[in-house]
Amino acid sequence: MPTCAVLSFRLGLTDGVSIVADTWMRSLRELGFDIVTVAGEGPVDLVLPDLAIGRWPDGRAGVEGPDAATTDEVDELHALVEAALADADLVVVENLGTIPMNLPAARAVARARSGLPTIWHHHDPAWQRDRYRDLDELPVDDPAWRHVTINDLTRRQLQERGIASVTIRNGFDPLHLRGDREAERLRLGFRSDELVMVHPVRAIERKGVPQAVDLARSLDATYWLTGPAEEGYGNELEHHLAAAAAAGVRIRRDLPNTLGDLYAAADIVAFPSTWEGFGNPPVEAALARRPAAVGSYPVAGELRALGFRWFDPADPAPLADWLAHPDEELLEHNFTVARTHLSPESVTDALKDLLDEAGWSA
């Protein structure tokens, strides 16, 4: 049986890339591959710490320096990566060759995979983030490789840069979104009649924490933030939460027991982001049959075009009306859209087509 190695900064955790990578791994197993995982951190088969985010900082908050590692260090990392992937028939690189959060690692992996069967899975390239706009080294290309994007916007942008790719949208399994509402709410200390609005994100500027807090205040809902502050956003986050608490908003900051428990315990999902490479939570909310308030980031337009009906986080009145008179048809409609267009089966089918085209089928 052929082996596929899946490699990234981190795998097996709760970030969006890890969750999508898990879906791909299930599909690749169905297509006949053994899977080996390699990452800088996480519960993986092989941990290479030099692949992790933050390994080679250049002094700018959250930015990985193109020259922070010496030539000898990159050569050493290249040798480690090459050895780690030596027995792999196929390698999938999850976002590490897309966003410059560890440029030395991206260079080392590209060198190790030169001329070899490799799928570069692109989630959010540098030019889509203001703080990375001056770093244009990634992605790199090779005739032996294939490139996959998670949305059509990035596919078109890659094409403008001379790199051919295909879009495979993220897939979601509703079985992984089952949770125990009563037990999770009891664990977290929510009252039985407490309206809970979850904001299932890492706390960074583009996630729209102030907008989510304002929506919670308008709805008299508890604001539940599940992720930590990152990218230097800690002080600003504390300021927003303190102001919200002073205005009477109930604040909770806890990790859920499981992803399914997160949606089971919540009544509303807030996602007022200004930018996302995809945006998993609104789709997960649909599969968990929860209403979602979703921002107007560009890729959300692609998802809305599939048929999703979401509320506007800047206009709480329609959501408040829905909560007062819940319409199950809306929840069933969104569930059907997610199952029709964004299923694990659709990912498996698209990967099979890609592997067949490249001649890499198991």
Length of the chain: 362
Q: How many domains does the chain have?
A: 2
- Round to whole Å and give the CA distance between 273 and 206: 6
- The CA-atom distances, in angstroms, between 28 and each of 81, 344, 352 are 21, 11, 9
Buried b / exposed e over 161-187, threshold 16 CB at 10 Å, is eebebeebbbbbbbebbebeeeebbee
Alpha helix (H) ranges present in 36-140? 71-84, 103-112
The answer to whether residues 228 and 209 touch, using CB atoms and an 8 Å cutoff, is: no
* Same domain as 83, residue 115: yes
* Same domain as 187, residue 155: no
* Same domain as 163, residue 302: no
- Round to whole Å and give the CA distance between 223 and 151: 30
- Nearest CA to 200 among 223, 182, 216, 220? 223
Query: pLDDT at position 73, please?
Result: 78
* Same domain as 183, residue 155: no
* Same domain as 79, residue 213: no
Q: Could you give the 3-state DSSP secondary structure of residue 219? A: helix
Q: Which H helix or E strand runs over 292?
A: strand 292-294
Q: How many CB atoms lie within 10 A of CB 227?
A: 16
Q: Could you give the 3-state DSSP secondary structure of residue 57? A: strand
Tokens of residue 127, six digits: 């030019």
* Same domain as 146, residue 24: yes
* Same domain as 122, residue 247: no
- Round to whole Å and give the CA distance between 254 and 262: 10
The answer to whether residues 201 and 170 touch, using CB atoms and an 8 Å cutoff, is: no
pLDDT in tens, the chain (362 residues): 999 999 999 999 878 899 899 999 999 999 999 999 999 999 999 999 999 987 866 543 344 454 566 777 788 899 999 999 999 999 999 999 999 989 999 999 999 999 999 999 999 898 988 778 778 889 999 999 999 999 999 999 999 999 999 999 999 999 889 999 999 999 999 999 999 999 999 899 999 999 999 999 999 999 999 999 988 899 999 999 999 999 999 999 999 999 999 999 999 999 999 999 899 999 999 999 999 999 999 999 999 999 999 999 999 999 999 999 999 999 999 999 999 999 999 999 999 999 999 999 98
* Same domain as 184, residue 37: no
Range of the domain at 300: 174-341
* Same domain as 93, residue 237: no
Task: Give the angle subtended at the CA of 100 by the CAs of 202 and 238, to the nearest 5°.
Answer: 25
* Same domain as 348, residue 335: no
* Same domain as 164, residue 219: no
* Same domain as 302, residue 207: yes
Q: Which H helix or E strand runs over 10?
A: strand 3-10
Q: What is the CATH number of the domain that holds 248?
A: 3.40.50.2000
